[in-house]
Amino acid sequence: MLFCFVFSLFVHRIESSDWGIKAPPSLYVLKDHTAYLDCEFSFPEGHSFKRAYWVSISKDISTRRNCTLTINNVKISDSGKYYFQFYTSTETRYGLLGTRLHVNARPENLTLSVPTVLEAGNQTTITCSVHNVYPSESASMQFESGGIEGTSTQQTQENEDRTCVKTVTFTFIPQHFHNRKNLSCSVAHPNLTHTLQANVTLDIKYDPRNVSVSVSPSGTIKEGDSVVLWCGADSNPGVSRYSWFKQPAESSSWVGVNGSAAAELRIPLASRTDSGRYRCIAENADGDSEASGATSLDIQYPPDVVQVSPCDNHSLCWVCEVEANPLANLTWLEDGAAGRRLMPGGELLHNGTRTSLRIQMTQQKEELICAAVNSHGQKQKVKTINKKGGTALNTIIPAAVGTLAAFITAVALFCFVRRKGRETRQRDSSAEASPEVIYDVVQNLTEDQVPAAKVSDEEEELVYADLDLAPRGKRNWEPVSESELTEYSDLKTVAQLKAGDSAASQE
């Protein structure tokens, strides 16, 4: 394609109207293209053409009256002013004012150079260059920093062929938030149909930032639900490893969560032991960073009655302890002949997820019920108590001890009776030989004659004394005194007399 621009065209004449030259005063052409300097000349009749030439051009012009000059592959060095002259037979010379040739270069090879590695916090320089500019002021360069603060400078360097390289440098300190920012450089030129433009997207390397933990689902989580904890971080390059840590409920220490190096920490079936605070550490090739704060995981579940027990073995004071999340509301109930009845309790005491409630009774109850309820369910526990107070276990143990003591007492009494029987028989045999034995008449005694032997109609509660049982094979049986034997015989006689009176009354 030929680029030849003629800005003006006129004819220069001498005195005679027959003399004249037509040529443009100036011509603009692009480097490496062809320049056409249009030219025509004339002279009066009676003159013969001898020669013509362009100043500084040695090649003769054709004898035709067309003096157009063609310059192929124009260089910057071809720029300048050209003059045309011709001679006739009368040696008359005609001088042209001249045509100025302007050679421009079209800008090309626009490049935007960025260092291979851009690290956050380290100063760097980005360069935008355009080549083949002539004259230098003909090209307009613009650098767009995308809002990044920095310093820009512009330089021009001339080449051997008189073309120029124009350069814009932009110096700044990259930050992690500059990552993925777009920078651009553009060049405008009169001989360009469109603006040249180069773009680059910044790739800033930095360690993980803005590390945080999120939980899904975000609402209430119950035992048995599926839970996912997500560790998010802003980093370049991306996070290569995640480390999870847990602070169990009611604990001040952190423990690592084994088997998890991914961004997701999945808990397929959540349990109450999964409750606690969680945090994560994100790591990449440039370093690592920890979440600014921990995220709490609260697993909720229905009440679970841990225990119902007496207060310090006191049968009239009972305490119920319940594990629940959220905290449970506790009540005491009495299950009697008239049905269940609400009993007034004491103050609810809370310790973590545990709640306890005491009840102080004024009399023994056969059955107590501790009922607990929260938003996820309810639970109750029934405690059976014997008439004397205390649980069934508290009754069985004393009964067993009492039975054993009664058995040992019976054996001891049996042995005692047998021994005393032998001694009595020995005394009886001695009495038969003694003339001093006197037989008296035995009469039935009235109750007023034996006031000490009166028996109460009311059943007295049996009280067991402490027994000191000697080891087997080492029991020392002490002989019973005559007074003890007499008391025993009197009691036996009273019983027999009462039996005789009863029989007589029946007759």
Mode of pairing for the β-strands spanning 49-54 and 124-133: unpaired
DSSP assignments along 260-318, one per residue: --SSEEEESS--GGG-EEEEEEEEETTEEEE-SS-EEE-EEEEEEEEEEEEETTEEEEE
Choice between 121 and 251, residue whose per-residue pLDDT is larger: 121
Structure-model confidence comparison of residues 10 and 173, the more confident one: 173
The helix (run of H) or strand (run of E) holding residue 500 is: helix 482-506
Residue 51: how many CB atoms within 10 A of its CB? Answer: 11
- Does residue 248 surpass a pLDDT of 70? yes
Which of 160-174, 265-279, 357-371, 409-423 has the weakest average pLDDT? 409-423
User: What's the DSSP call for residue 391?
Assistant: B
Q: What is the pLDDT of residue 348?
A: 86
For residue 281, name the pLDDT band (cuts at 50, 70, 90). Answer: very high
> Which CATH topology does 301-390 take?
Immunoglobulin-like (2.60.40)
pLDDT at residue 387, rounded to an integer: 52
The CATH number that domain 206-297 falls under is 2.60.40.10
In the β-sheet with 124-133, what is the strand arrangement from edge to edge?
Answer: 108-113, 124-133, 164-172, 151-158
DSSP letters of 9-77? -EEE--SSTT-EEEE-SEEEEETTS-EEE--EEE--TT--EEEEEETT--SPPPSSSB--EEESS--GG
pLDDT at res. 222:
96
By DSSP bridging, strand 118-119 and strand 204-216 are parallel
CATH topology identical between 108-202 and 301-390: yes
Residue with the two structure tokens 């841990």: 306
Q: What is the pLDDT of residue 474?
A: 42
At 422, the pLDDT band (50, 70, 90 cuts) reads: low
What was the pLDDT predicted at 427? 54
Residue boundaries of the structural domains of the chain: 5-104, 108-202, 206-297, 301-390, 396-427+444-505
Query: What CATH superfamily classification does 5-104 receive?
Result: Immunoglobulins (2.60.40.10)
The whole-angstrom distance between residue 71's C-alpha and the CA centroid of its chain comes to: 76
Q: Token pair of 422, please?
A: 């032998």
Region 108-202: CATH code: 2.60.40.10
Reading the block at residue 357, the tokens are 């409630």
- Across 419-441, b (16+ Cβ under 10 Å) vs e yields ebeeeeeeeeeeeeeeeeeeeee
Cα 183 to Cα 111, 122, 229, 353, distances in angstroms: 12, 18, 37, 57
Highest mean pLDDT among 341-345, 347-351, 389-393 belongs to 347-351
Nearest Cα neighbor of 127 from 164, 155, 159 is 155
Q: Which of 61-75, 163-177, 207-221, 302-316 has the lowest mean pLDDT?
A: 61-75
pLDDT of residue 320: 93
Q: Which residue has the tokens 């225990």?
A: 307
pLDDT of residue 94: 63
Contact 247, 236 (CB under 8 A): no
Contacts of 272 (CB under 8 A, 6+ apart): 223, 299, 301, 325, 353
Half-sphere exposure of 493 (CA within 13 A, CB side): 15
| Cβ contact 73:32 at 8 Å | yes
With cut-offs at 50, 70 and 90, classify the pLDDT of residue 362.
confident
Task: Report whether pLDDT(122) > 50.
Answer: yes
The pLDDT of 352-361, averaged and rounded, is: 89
Spatial separation of the C-alpha atoms in residues 18 and 38, rounded to whole Å = 20
pLDDT, tens digit, for every residue of 447-495?
Answer: 443 333 333 333 333 333 333 444 444 444 444 444 444 444 444 444 4
* 470 compared with 357, residue with greater pLDDT: 357
